[in-house]
Structure 1
Amino acid sequence: MRIERLRATPVAVPYVHDEIWAFGRRRGQVSVLLEVETDEGVTGLGEAAAYPSADIVLAVLRSVEPLVLGEDPFAIERLMRRIELIGTWHHVKATSPAIAAVEMACWDIVGKVCGQPLVNLLGGRFRERVECFFYVARSDPAEVAREARRASESGFSTCYLKVGSDEPNTDIERVEALRDGAGPSARLRIDANEAWAPGTAVRMIRELARFDLELVEQPVSGRNLDELGYVRSRVEVPLLANEASWTRHEQLAVLKAGAADVLSVDNQMDGGLLNLKRSAGMCEAAGLPVVKHSLGELGVALAAAVHAIAATPNFTYANQAYGALLSDDITEGFGGGVAGYTDGHVDVPAEPGLGVTLDPDRVARYAELYRTEGAAFSFGDPDPVLRSPALPKF
């Protein structure tokens, strides 16, 4: 069997409301769907988040195409090494999601040919379903409280909220609203996206600790592990490394520095599901749990992640997913918003490969939306752009 063609389709799926973070917002999910066709008629599905843009993902796919066409989709390790070394992608710290999409599609082919769900090829089911958090992507405290109540009513046990506002009191009000809305038993995770300086981070975490936080994600720069270690040594709330741990090489540095209590891992940022498994194994050897990070994903990428997480023991926290934001999906009967989750969990697909099928009508609809309005879906906000924000904020 040989790879005969790569077919990429950018799509834009609206969110139910904007995703808001420390430096901007976006109105929906842009992903590049990848179909890897073989000479034996088996097609594998992959998905790349449009990070940092769909144009860059498409350019990466064009650059690796000569290294992929004519290759055996079963020889995944060899294929990925060709891309990394001959294609020089090993020089890029955060490997493009495009490369991960190629690997994902190859795994889908292997599973389909073997007649096995991907989870069985990655170690077998350690768990039958995968827990995800509810993304509370609103800014006004009253809206935060309403979304947190929706999370609780929908069966989610963990709520995730972006902090890092321009005014510290705003974050305090929003986290308080999150606790009020979610109730006393919910687990609360906040993410500053590097917005704070070390001293500010210590002060803010100590102040917010009264709301019984589960984790604080990347409160300071991910480029200086001394800062993260400084904060960790002065607060009681566990820290989750994210921007500091996008690749397995950076995760090793975090472990050596003792800079975090939990590490975020992401197959799209580190070139594939095999590397995600390597990351988790490395952290397990160090005695630390991991959580799955997401750049935003539709049903194809969600299914791939669920298979890998289900086969890996130390994913013990709720993982990042976009079900609370997505208004729809491009697959048949998988993903597509909160309704696709049961008590905050996603069932592991049982069909061969990734176990998902594209819905042609939805793909066509959201490909057209990308063509006509794709630029409006990227991260951006006129006000922060005009103010030229600094990092950290304060």
Structure 2
Amino acid sequence: MKITRIEAIPFAIPYAKPLHFASGEVHTAEHVLIRITTDDGLTGVAEAPPRPFTYGETQGGIIAVVDGIFAPALLGLDLMEREQIHARLARTVGNPTAKSAIDMAIWDAMGQALGYSVTELLGGYTDRMRVSHMLGFDAPAAMVAEAERMRETYGISTFKVKVGRRPFQLDTAVVRALREHFGDTIELYVDGNRGWSASESARAMHEMADLGLALAEELCPADDVLGRRWLVQQLEVPFVADESAATPAEVTRELLGGAATAISIKTARTGFTTSRRVHHLAEGLGVEVVMGNQIDGQLGSLASVAFGSAFELTSRRAGELSNFLDMSDDLLAEPLEIRGGELIARTGPGLGAVIDPDKLARYRQD
């Protein structure tokens, strides 16, 4: 099971509807397909979705670091040498999405070699997760209409509302419109992508105190150390650290420093290996976890549900698994389906992902 080839294939698929949030906007999924081949003919795949405005990675940067640094460092290693692989990737600073896609493709190939799904290899707690859908910036009526469509079409009843605009009343009006329209039949939480200051966040959360929010995520920057702690201390809902806590060390810092009381795990930025370490850390510290989304395509969402369904803690809350619905197409030969508000992890060895060669040929950019 030795690694003989690592490919980084750029592809671009337009979004049917642009996504808008406090840290930027996305019109096209300019992602990278990572494909790892072994000497016994196995092929593992994963998706690397760069987010330049969050982690500084670009499509070209991912290809360059994979081709120029990571592939030469890993070729010849056995799939089971996971700690050696992790150590060699860790020698390079940053590049979380590139590292994570390589890690997940290795787990995919390893599952195929051993005859187990990735979910089974990781923990095998369940085979499905409830789905949370992200609502990007728009007018209240439009966001209510989108939520209604998601509930009627896919049975989704948990919604993450992007906030962080100024004035903050633009966003509090949206959340209030959603609650008034749906009543208590849906679960709501907000994500600011660091768009507000601590004082703006406190005022906004005070205005929404009667709306029964489940969580608040990254309302203000973690770099505003004292302001963030001051904010978290007065909230009555868990405060989720997302982009401010992408590594186990950062998770420890944010939680023990009082800057967060819950954690978002995104397999797109921590793969399966580091995501598992973050999960165990959160479990040991007794904090809640949300499975987040890096605006993944179907392959990335398949990886998220594979990990999230593997553990009791990560499957407890609805996972952010529906962003692929906003894409005009995808690469999987067998598309994912959300039914009854749930997404089921694929059975069979590895991730159960088969790339459609015709679609890859259509959308690849090299």
| Counterpart residue number, 1:20 | 20
SS at match of 1:133: strand
CA contact (8 A) 2:298 2:324 kept: no
Q: What CA deviation, in whole Å up to 9, does each residue of 1:260-319 have, x standing for no partner?
A: 23211223323x211101111111111111112221212222222222111112112222
The one-letter code of the counterpart of 1:328 is: D
> What displacement does 1:258 show?
2.9
Q: 1:118 to 1:361 in 2, by over 3 A?
A: same
- 2:70, 2:120 → 1: CA distance? 28
What is the aligned length?
357
CA contact (8 A) 2:12 2:30 kept: yes
Aligned pairs (5 A) from 1:237-252: 237-252=237-252
State TM-score, norm by structure 2. Answer: 0.92
CA contact (8 A) 2:255 2:261 kept: no
Establish whether residue 363 from structure 1 lines up as the match of residue 360 from structure 2. Answer: yes
| Counterpart residue number, 1:327 | 328
Establish whether residue 55 from structure 1 lines up as the match of residue 56 from structure 2. Answer: no
> What displacement does 1:355 show?
0.7
| Counterpart residue number, 2:71 | 65
> What displacement does 1:245 show?
1.2
CA contact (8 A) 1:135 1:324 kept: no
- 2:151, 2:357 → 1: CA distance? 34
SS at match of 2:185: coil
- 1:175, 1:218 → 2: CA distance? 17
> What displacement does 1:348 show?
1.4
The one-letter code of the counterpart of 1:329 is: D
The one-letter code of the counterpart of 1:198 is: A
> What displacement does 1:78 show?
1.2
Q: 1:224 to 1:250 in 2, by over 3 A?
A: farther
CA contact (8 A) 2:160 2:189 kept: yes
CA contact (8 A) 1:205 1:237 kept: no
Q: What CA deviation, in whole Å up to 9, does each residue of 1:21-62 have, x standing for no partner?
A: 114321132220011112221111121112321011111202
SS at match of 1:71: coil
- 1:39, 1:23 → 2: CA distance? 42
> What displacement does 1:138 show?
4.1
SS at match of 1:211: coil
The one-letter code of the counterpart of 1:51 is: R
Establish whether residue 37 from structure 1 lines up as the match of residue 37 from structure 2. Answer: yes
Aligned pairs (5 A) from 1:1-394: 1-52=1-52, 53-62=58-67, 63-84=69-90, 88-89=91-92, 91-92=93-94, 95-124=95-124, 126-153=125-152, 154-270=154-270, 272-315=271-314, 316-321=316-321, 322-335=323-336, 340-368=337-365
State TM-score, norm by structure 1. Answer: 0.86
List, as ranges, runs of 4+ consecutive aligned residues in structure 1 with deviation greater than 6 Å. none
- 1:2, 1:220 → 2: CA distance? 45
SS at match of 1:214: coil
Contiguous gaps of at least 5 residues in structure 2: 53-57
Contiguous gaps of at least 5 residues in structure 1: 372-394
- 2:345, 2:98 → 1: CA distance? 24
The one-letter code of the counterpart of 2:347 is: A
Q: 1:320 to 1:222 in 2, by over 3 A?
A: farther
- 2:224, 2:172 → 1: CA distance? 26
CA contact (8 A) 1:209 1:237 kept: no
- 1:23, 1:221 → 2: CA distance? 11
> What displacement does 1:203 show?
0.7
